Amino acid sequence: MRGVKVVTGKPSLGPLKTDGSERVVKLPPRLLERLWEWQMVQAAEREVLVASGGAWTDQGLIFSTRVGGRKGIPAGGPIDPNSLKTVFASVCAEAGVQTLSIQALRRIFTTLRRKRGVALELVAADLGHTDTRTLLAFYRTVDNEERLTHGEDLDETLTALGQQG
């Protein structure tokens, strides 16, 4: 496994940030299908580029730089992490939705997984955290639906306590 770092203004592959950064994530079949489709698109782009005399640096990446990218960055190389923000913002604008930060997406992911009953430890592991403290401190949010449910639970608890006394 390798991670992307920006060195002297260019993205490059290197070791992962921590030993805990390497993890296995089970992907749903429909996402795997989309990734296979993307691999076919990428292979077609590579064929066209190479056939026309262009260069493709195959580094085994699922997502890589494309033809017509920044100067000095060959097609097939690692994507600059900062450019992902720009691409994500344009995708959100095209979809007509508010642009969110990567951290906000992690918060949403955490909240939705917890609402589905996934154990906090598993959600933390999915996000690359070794314990739940970081997850609880930065990513876990309580939404209005949970507050309302908590109010119902509190009412039931108080009613049960009143019946005992």
Task: Look up residue 75 and give its DSSP letter.
Answer: B
Do 33 and 89 share a domain, yes or no?
yes
Q: What pLDDT score was predicted for residue 128? A: 83
Query: CA quadruple 24, 113, 86, 21: dihedral positive or negative?
Result: negative
Domain boundary among 73, 95, 117: 95
Whether the Cβ atoms of residue 38 and residue 31 lie closer than 8 Å to each other: no
Q: Which residues pair with 5 in a beta bridge?
A: 12
* Long-range pairs for 144-148: beta carbons < 8 A, 24 or more residues apart: 145/115, 146/115
Q: What pLDDT score was predicted for residue 60? A: 86
Q: What is the DSSP string of 102-161?
A: HHHHHHHHHHHHHHTT--HHHHHHHTT-SSHHHIIIII----HHHHHHHHHHHHHHHHHH
User: What does pTM read for this prediction?
Assistant: 0.64
Specify if 32 maps to a domain. Answer: yes
Domain boundary among 46, 79, 95: 95
Do 89 and 138 share a domain, yes or no?
no
Q: What pLDDT score was predicted for residue 65? A: 83
Specify if 17 maps to a domain. Answer: no
Q: What pLDDT score was predicted for residue 35? A: 94
Q: What is the pLDDT along the chain (165 residues), one digit of tens a residue?
A: 788 888 887 888 888 887 777 888 888 999 999 999 999 998 998 898 889 888 888 888 888 887 655 566 678 888 888 888 888 889 889 999 898 888 888 888 888 888 888 998 998 888 888 888 888 887 766 677 766 666 666 677 777 777 765
Do 125 and 70 share a domain, yes or no?
no
Domain boundary among 95, 113, 145: 95
CA distance 99 to 103: 12
Do 118 and 73 share a domain, yes or no?
no
Do 29 and 91 share a domain, yes or no?
yes
Per the structure, the complete domain to which residue 133 belongs is given by 100-157
Q: What pLDDT score was predicted for residue 67? A: 64
Amino acid at 111: T
Do 67 and 82 share a domain, yes or no?
yes
Do 88 and 105 share a domain, yes or no?
no
Do 31 and 91 share a domain, yes or no?
yes
Do 125 and 66 share a domain, yes or no?
no
Angle at 147 between CA 144 and CA 152, to 5 degrees: 130
Structure tokens at 72: 């000095």
Instruction: Work out how many domains the chain is built from and give that number.
Output: 2
